């Protein structure tokens, strides 16, 4: 493949596409990044409504993400962290869990006090030691796998800690309640939590893709343009026009990639719904995530992002974010009222004064991370001699995984260009 001055077209302006475009630009290539929606960011976007910053679905940036740290100026994101540990909602009360990742002993004492499951303390410590023993956390993704729930049982954890901590916590991370996600993702995310903090940027999560986009030369990004078909050296747009190019990188989410690459489309994915409320008083004072131990509830987790980053709400207001992973079949209005009904049990009639700001229904939140899917991760970015792919479905389904896959695709393009010119 030779670029001979022609552009490389990157399709998709999420974190994978932006990282890929940036690395290609640094490699001296001319790039055009084509994005279907009104702005870049993909699944990491933030809306501003009435002075509140609403991330499109609650998500956090792990300060320990190794690949993101290479591409982002973390300092200028002004990250602020949730309190390590969390609050557990169980049997009509809240329990503080100190910090299971860094301080397993104290935290488990706090969950199970006064009974104290001594054997769980040492098992969490051992688990933590194992996942931290690898300098490169991505090595954990090469280990033999089973389901996350099976791995927890294999480690000998008690039913109490599985039901009262691991299930509520990891169901929110994996967006599924049974923990059938691959144990590799359990190891990887545990490692990330134990090495860093869950943070939010001062300007909302979208500040992350914006920072990457800012480094691209002016005119590189073309938004509100959908690619309908690709062939070697040719990109067709849905307005009927075509662009010729030296190479194409498909950096869309998995369903769109399957269409463009005419690949296997039997993908599965995880969905979520996030409701934001404007509240006068914070229902929880601490900047913590509240996990619901009742897995039959609509509310999976709740937090007040503005307790972590005050910029998420106007002065004297509190932003409350409530995440659900199922059931998600109610109308948005009925969903909000069902959430309110549950939270009235938690916080009393204050909840009736909360003003709903927005409800985000995100059917395609994460590609499935089951054992079978993690086995088949497409790590080779090359599809043909001039077509490449990247996206979180090619790596861990995460911010870091998306960035890492973009990096890998750009490296493949640059290597092919180099070998063609030598």
Ligand X SMILES: Cc1cc2nc3c(=O)[nH]c(=O)nc-3n(C[C@H](O)[C@H](O)[C@H](O)COP(=O)(O)OP(=O)(O)OC[C@H]3O[C@@H](n4cnc5c(N)ncnc54)[C@H](O)[C@@H]3O)c2cc1C
The angle at the Cα of 200, spanning 39 to 367, to the nearest 5 degrees, equals 60
Nearer to ligand X, 110 or 181 (CB): 181
Please count the other Cβ atoms lying within 10 Å of the Cβ belonging to residue 48. 11
What's the length of the chain? Answer: 422
Nearest distance from residue 22's CB to ligand X, in Å? Answer: 13
- Residues near ligand X (CB under 6 A) are 11-17, 34-37, 42-44, 57, 59-60, 226-227, 251-253, 256, 272, 362, 365-366, 391-392, 397-399, 402
Nearest distance from residue 362's CB to ligand X, in Å? Answer: 5
Nearer to ligand X, 108 or 208 (CB): 208
Surface-to-core class of residue 4, CB atoms within 10 Å of its CB (0-12 exposed, 13-18 middle, 19+ buried): exposed
Nearer to ligand X, 11 or 313 (CB): 11
Nearer to ligand X, 13 or 157 (CB): 13
Nearer to ligand X, 101 or 157 (CB): 101
Contact 327/16 with Cβ under 8 angstroms? no
DSSP states of 393-406: GGS-SSHHHHHHHH
Torsion of CA 313, 43, 189, 86, to 10 degrees: 20
User: Half-sphere exposure of residue 263, counting CA atoms within 13 Å on the CB side?
Assistant: 16
- Give the pairing of strands 318-324 and 269-279: antiparallel
Nearest distance from residue 408's CB to ligand X, in Å? Answer: 12
Nearer to ligand X, 157 or 188 (CB): 188
Nearest distance from residue 359's CB to ligand X, in Å? Answer: 12
Structure tokens at 9: 């077209």
What is the sign, positive or negative, of the torsion defined by CA atoms of 153, 157, 160, 161? negative
Nearest distance from residue 369's CB to ligand X, in Å? Answer: 10
Structure tokens at 232: 């070697």
Nearer to ligand X, 11 or 108 (CB): 11
Nearest distance from residue 122's CB to ligand X, in Å? Answer: 29
Nearer to ligand X, 42 or 100 (CB): 42
Nearest distance from residue 104's CB to ligand X, in Å? Answer: 22
Structure tokens at 256: 């769109």
How remote is the C-alpha of 227 from its chain's centroid? 25
Strands of 148-268 (E only): list them.
198-200, 221-222, 227-231, 234-237, 242-244, 247-250
Nearest distance from residue 36's CB to ligand X, in Å? Answer: 4
């Amino acid at each position: 493949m030779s670029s001979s001055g022609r552009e490389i077209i990157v399709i998709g302006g999420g974190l994978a596409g932006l990282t890929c475009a940036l690395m290609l630009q640094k490699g001296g290539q001319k790039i055009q990044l084509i994005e279907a929606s009104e702005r870049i960011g993909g699944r990491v976007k933030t809306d501003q409504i009435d002075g509140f910053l609403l991330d499109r679905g609650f998500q956090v940036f792990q300060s320990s993400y190794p690949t993101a740290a290479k591409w982002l100026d973390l300092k200028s994101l002004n990250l602020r962290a949730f309190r390590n540990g969390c609050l557990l909602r169980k049997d009509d009360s809240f329990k503080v869990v100190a910090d299971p990742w860094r301080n397993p002993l104290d935290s488990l004492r706090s969950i199970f006090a006064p009974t104290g499951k001594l054997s769980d303390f040492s098992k969490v410590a051992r688990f933590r030691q194992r996942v931290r023993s690898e300098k490169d956390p991505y090595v954990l993704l090469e280990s033999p796998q089973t389901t996350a729930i099976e791995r927890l049982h294999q480690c000998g954890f008690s039913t109490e800690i599985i039901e009262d901590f691991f299930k509520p916590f990891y169901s929110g991370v994996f967006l599924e309640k049974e923990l059938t996600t691959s144990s590799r993702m359990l190891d990887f995310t545990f490692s990330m939590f134990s090495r860093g903090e869950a943070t939010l940027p001062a300007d909302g999560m979208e500040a992350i893709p914006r920072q990457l986009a800012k480094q691209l030369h002016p005119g590189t990004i073309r938004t509100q343009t959908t690619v309908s078909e690709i062939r070697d050296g040719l990109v067709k747009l849905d307005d009927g026009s075509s662009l010729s190019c030296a190479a194409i990188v498909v950096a869309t989410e998995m369903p769109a990639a399957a269409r463009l690459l005419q690949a296997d489309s039997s993908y599965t994915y995880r969905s979520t719904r996030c409701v934001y409320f404007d509240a006068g008083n914070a229902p929880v004072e601490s900047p913590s995530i509240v996990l619901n131990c009742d897995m039959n509830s609509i509310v999976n987790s709740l937090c007040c992002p503005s307790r972590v980053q005050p910029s998420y709400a106007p002065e004297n207001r509190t932003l409350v974010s409530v995440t659900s992973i199922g059931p998600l079949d109610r109308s948005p209005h009925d969903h909000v009222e069902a959430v309110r009904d549950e939270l009235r049990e938690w916080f009393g009639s204050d909840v009736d004064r909360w003003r709903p700001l927005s409800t985000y229904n995100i059917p395609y939140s994460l590609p499935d991370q089951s054992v079978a899917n993690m086995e088949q991760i497409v790590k080779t970015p090359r599809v043909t001699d001039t077509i490449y792919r990247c996206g979180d479905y090619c790596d861990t389904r995460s911010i870091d995984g998306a960035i890492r896959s973009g990096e890998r695709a750009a490296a493949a393009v640059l290597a092919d260009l180099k070998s063609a010119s030598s």
